[in-house]
Amino acid sequence: MNAPTKEPAETCAECQVGMLRPRSVPYYAHLDALLITVPDFPAWVCDVCSHCEYDEAALDDLRAILGPNASLPEDSSRQRRMPPSDSPSWSIELNPRGRT
């Protein structure tokens, strides 16, 4: 998965002042009893209040990887932002402590 595409900045829905900018942020999700951590997840972060909205294309990819039992946020009504193809990819580790 890649960083969000660079599009014209969108006004933050939370503070109505700042602009949402593409960034990579840590992402956490639950899969049954496991905590899934993605260290560099594509997102849109407000430059004033730090409100964060995860990239929809990246969430779709993560849903496809983790399956229907993962506790992920539902799709938002925001415009979908697609990641560029030239950015570094990300990976997740489902079993970081060697548990089976």
Residue 80 within any structural domain of the chain? no
Q: What is the pLDDT of residues 73-100, one digit of tens each?
A: 664 434 444 444 444 455 555 565 655 5
Range of the domain at 25: 10-71
Q: What is the pLDDT of residues 18-53, one digit of tens each?
A: 999 999 999 988 888 888 899 999 999 999 999 999
Residue 43 within any structural domain of the chain? yes
CATH number of the domain that residue 65 is part of: 3.10.20
Residue 100 within any structural domain of the chain? no
| Average pLDDT of the residues of the chain | 76
CA 45 centroid distance within chain:
10
Residue 37 within any structural domain of the chain? yes
Residue 3 within any structural domain of the chain? no
- In total, how many domains does the chain have? 1
Residue 28 within any structural domain of the chain? yes
* Confidence at residue 65, expressed as pLDDT on a 0 to 100 scale: 87
* Position 66 pLDDT exceeds 90: no
